[in-house]
Chains A and B, each alone.
Chain A
Amino acid sequence: MIENIWAIPLFPLIAFVLLLAGRNVFQAKTATWVGSLSAFLSFLGSVAALWVQLSEGNHLSLFPWLSFGETTIRFGIELNQLNVLMMILVSLISFLVQVYSHSYMKGDQRVPIFHAYLSLFTFSMLGLVLSPNLLQLYIFWELVGVCSFLLIGYWYFKPEAKRAAQKAFIVTRIGDVGLLIAVILTLLYVGNLELTTIFASLDAGEIPPGMVTLIALLVFVGAVGKSGQFPLHTWLPDAMEGPTPVSALIHAATMVAAGVFLVARMFPLFQSSSVAMDTVAWTGAFTAIFAAGIGLVQYDIKRVLAYSTISQLGYMMFALGAGGYVAGIFHLMTHGVFKALLFLVAGAIIIVFNHEQDLRRMGGLWKTHPTLGWFFVIGCLSIAGIPPFSGFFSKEEVLLAAFADGRMGIFILGIVTAFLTAFYMFRLFFLAFWGKSSIETRGKTVASTMIWPMGVLALLSILAGFVEVPGHHLSFWLREGSDTISGKVGEASIWVAFFSIAVSLAGIILAWAVYANKSIPRDLLQKPFPWLYSFLHRKCYVDEMQRAIVVEPYRMLGFLLSAFDRYIVQGIVHLVAGIPRFAGAIVTRLQNGQAQTYALVSVIGLVLLIIGLTAGRLFG
């Protein structure tokens, strides 16, 4: 049984090949069946793997793939707690998203292709989490990037989608370069790319400490690119140009989770370097509050959710940076569930409002679509951290980890972010569900294939927290057999919990007061601080800064180089080509097929030959 783990990522791959081959043959319905069935089989396999893992422990199987010199790179699969957890998360959300897509993508011309991409995405992510080897991980890492490119640009006829896809690809690539350098450095210093070997040599202290820090930071650069941390987060909001199910998949389970997963997977490496841990923690904390701040003022429903994702990823990062290994993974899991829920509901809302995404034109949905409302409330409460929803427990763990690690600055940032999160999520909720809308929503039903995936996710959003509380089952399970991963368990200060609940409630009430009750005017803060508002509204000008600092100089350089190429290099090329052509034109005229011309040439040649041979003697 355990030897057949490799089959789990194979189901989506088969589905991908099938769908790609039959993209002109399959009906939309068949395509959905193929895609979601493969994801479901993967999910079943993952659950089986969990069961096996619980009963038999970890598993590692390798085969040699590439040998050079004394180094052999071995590919294979590794099964441990983290991998199993990620596999379940990925396959489950992929399954639900594919079912959901059936209704969401109704009427689209290329549904089989869409499902093919989704399947490839699932395959890449499953392969990524199963990799026991840094190189294999890197390969799947890039595959994930390609899939996100394909899916964000799925509606490639929209120029925004095209641009967003390119942006996502290029910005994450900056991070990928960091990861690639880290892989090369690791090969250089460890001589092997297997994670177990790397950790073993870390324990033995074979890598110089400076190099450990460097490698860890470079790995983190990769994670920053994929997980949308500051300053490489700009692709994530733009990625909202893709279809909403794709956003759900990217934000909940696949693309952005890859970065956090990578940091968690390489956790021993980070633990060996306090500089790296600090960097991770502070980057995460800054990203959390920064993205939350931007999220306050955005009006595109999907963009708000995108910024909330960035913010929550910041949470995970600073949890990991603060040594809260379990907290980070726990939050990754719960976030995957409730963010998928929120995105699916948002997709339904967008459908109901005739593909209108501007919050200012929404409203009054609570009366016409209470089911969506309930689901959305569950998601919002979960992300805001209200018990007993899953987000509460994981956020508690995260904050506790920061607190227990003694990083008060980060802890305070986390608390403020919690307040902002609650505020902007409920701002979103009240704007969409309260008040009135200019768009008629009555009579628009949401298809059942969209409702029940949301239902499953809502149920999980409520229940997912209880794997950890009470009893810390998840913590003990995740730590099992890995002595390197230390951390703080069971040091819960009860006041932290109450404090964060109070803060979140304050945020919710404030949002209610501003957007539902309207007892506080909306522009209370906007009026005295217009610069702050526009600063946040323009996403802190990060895009503009990147453009000015990086893009424009490169464009100038490219312009210069193209001018050089066009006028100098091409000129030389034309000259070189022109000389033989000119000579050839002359010779061609001689070659006119007339014997007399040939004879003349040979007579002149003879004369020249005689003169040449005897010049000295003739006239000497």
Chain B
Amino acid sequence: MPITSYLALSAILFSLGLYGVLTKRNAVVVLFCIELMLNAANINLVAFSKYGLYANQTGHVFTLFTITVAAAEAAVGIAILIALYRNRNSVKADHYNMMKG
């Protein structure tokens, strides 16, 4: 299999995730989409650890770290979401407009 196929798959997943982040109104779904984007990036890392001029297993290490960080992010994200929900009684992302000056 050529590496381009993996990269294209990664790009498609990333774009879908990005679109979801931009348009979904439920904040939980936005978190899902962020996870999807992170995973798309991970595919790239793993693909380049198999194919490439200096391909080696180190890419797996980075993927491990990314997964760890993503897990932490998901946990904190959900916690923030719950706190927000308690305050504003809504999970609609477009209701969170406290940044408005």
Determine direct contact between A and B, CB below 8 Å. Answer: yes
List residues of chain A with CB under 8 Å of any chain B CB: 591-596, 598-600, 603
10 CB contacts below 8 A, A to B, read A592-B97, A593-B97, A593-B100, A593-B101, A594-B94, A594-B97, A596-B22, A596-B30, A598-B99, A603-B22
Contact between B21 and A599, CB atoms less than 8 A apart: yes
CA–CA, A593 to B98, complex, Å?
Answer: 6
Cβ contacts under 8 Å, A595 to chain B: 93, 96, 99
Q: Is B23 an interface residue (CB 8 A)?
A: yes
Contact between A596 and B93, CB atoms less than 8 A apart: yes
CA–CA, A598 to B99, complex, Å?
Answer: 10
CA–CA, A594 to B18, complex, Å?
Answer: 16
Distance (whole angstroms) from the CB of A585 to the closest CB of chain B: 15
List residues of chain B with CB under 8 Å of any chain A CB: 18, 21-23, 30, 93-94, 96-101
Q: Considering the complex of A and B, which 7 residue pairs feature the smallest CB-CB distances, nearest first?
A: A593-B100, A593-B97, A593-B99, A600-B22, A594-B94, A594-B97, A596-B22
Cβ contacts under 8 Å, A594 to chain B: 93-94, 96-97, 99-100
Contact between B22 and A599, CB atoms less than 8 A apart: yes
Distance (whole angstroms) from the CB of B37 to the closest CB of chain A: 12
Residue of A nearest to B19 (CB): A603
Can you name 19 extra interface pairs (CB under 8 A) apart from A591-B100, A591-B101, A594-B99? Answer: A592-B97, A592-B100, A593-B96, A593-B99, A593-B100, A594-B93, A594-B94, A594-B100, A595-B93, A595-B96, A595-B99, A596-B21, A596-B23, A596-B30, A596-B93, A596-B94, A598-B99, A599-B22, A603-B22
Distance (whole angstroms) from the CB of B35 to the closest CB of chain A: 16
Cβ contacts under 8 Å, A599 to chain B: 21-22
Residue of B nearest to A600 (CB): B22
CA–CA, A508 to B99, complex, Å?
Answer: 96
Cβ contacts under 8 Å, B97 to chain A: 592-594
CA–CA, A594 to B101, complex, Å?
Answer: 11
Cβ contacts under 8 Å, A592 to chain B: 97, 100
CA–CA, A600 to B100, complex, Å?
Answer: 16
Cβ contacts under 8 Å, B98 to chain A: 593
Distance (whole angstroms) from the CB of A117 to the closest CB of chain B: 56
Distance (whole angstroms) from the CB of B89 to the closest CB of chain A: 18
CA–CA, A78 to B23, complex, Å?
Answer: 90
Distance (whole angstroms) from the CB of A595 to the closest CB of chain B: 7
CA–CA, A594 to B27, complex, Å?
Answer: 12
Cβ contacts under 8 Å, B100 to chain A: 591-594
Residue of A nearest to B25 (CB): A596
Distance (whole angstroms) from the CB of A203 to the closest CB of chain B: 77
CA–CA, A600 to B22, complex, Å?
Answer: 6
CA–CA, A595 to B99, complex, Å?
Answer: 8
Distance (whole angstroms) from the CB of A274 to the closest CB of chain B: 79
Cβ contacts under 8 Å, A600 to chain B: 22
